[in-house]
Amino acid sequence: MRILVTNDDGYLALGIRALVRAAEDHGDVDIVAPDREQSATSHSLTMHHPLRVRTIREAHVVDGTPTDCVVLALGELMDEPPDFVFSGINHGANLGDDVLYSGTVAAAMEATILGIPAVAVSYTGRDPEAIEDWVPTVSTLLGRIVERGEFPDQTLLNVNLPAVPAREAKGVRVTRLGRRAYEGSLTRSRDPSGREYFWIGGGESRWWGEQDSDFRAIDEGYVSVTPLQLDLTDFDLLQDIRGWGLDT
């Protein structure tokens, strides 16, 4: 089994070290990761300047986004395509609507687009030092996924780990995405020179969703596994919208 590991927190992050250790239980691991923090870069692709790759210890380090890393890994850097791509372990949750901003999830999405089964893993706690304790749990879960020998087409798995000590996790739940909204996360202020600036981030978040949503599983101390599809078509509304008379 050949496994590509990437992330969006950069190759030095504690989370990718933990994911590499978990992945090594299941095959040969190649690391292709950004050279710096690339969180919330979503699925962006670098097209207007060249990308440079350095080899630092055993990792290929790219001055680009997580998506760039997967494109380079599969297109040039790996001798043969991997059997799986694992992305993470992200320092922070990727639940509900946040999956649309996440570089961690986007790297897994890019792998899915390129035909490689992919799993994104995120830790919902605030202390990255705690991620290391999750290696056995993540290894066991990934093992159960890779050993199936089949993986659904055009689908990736989004895994979140609850913010409890690993040994206190209650189990694993398969979930759907919940919803999340931020309040007070846009700051308007002035810099020391008196020039106005805006800053996105921080604030309070609240979430809501179905009983089987990812937020609830995490809140109750379970590992959450959500299958995500790339086809964003709203099939439930397709017939309704066709009834609007937009077709001419």
Binding positions for Mn ion, rule: CB under 5 A: 8-9, 39, 90
| Beta carbon of residue 68, minimum distance to Mn ion (angstroms, whole number) | 15
Start-end of H helices in the chain: 14-23, 66-72, 103-113, 135-146, 214-219, 235-242
Q: Which is nearer to Mn ion, 13 or 166 (CB)?
A: 13
Q: Which is nearer to Mn ion, 8 or 68 (CB)?
A: 8
| Beta carbon of residue 93, minimum distance to Mn ion (angstroms, whole number) | 10
Q: Which is nearer to Mn ion, 107 or 146 (CB)?
A: 107
Residue closest to Mn ion, measured at CB: 39
Q: Which is nearer to Mn ion, 90 or 146 (CB)?
A: 90
| Beta carbon of residue 150, minimum distance to Mn ion (angstroms, whole number) | 30
Q: Which is nearer to Mn ion, 39 or 65 (CB)?
A: 39
| Beta carbon of residue 71, minimum distance to Mn ion (angstroms, whole number) | 19
| Beta carbon of residue 9, minimum distance to Mn ion (angstroms, whole number) | 4
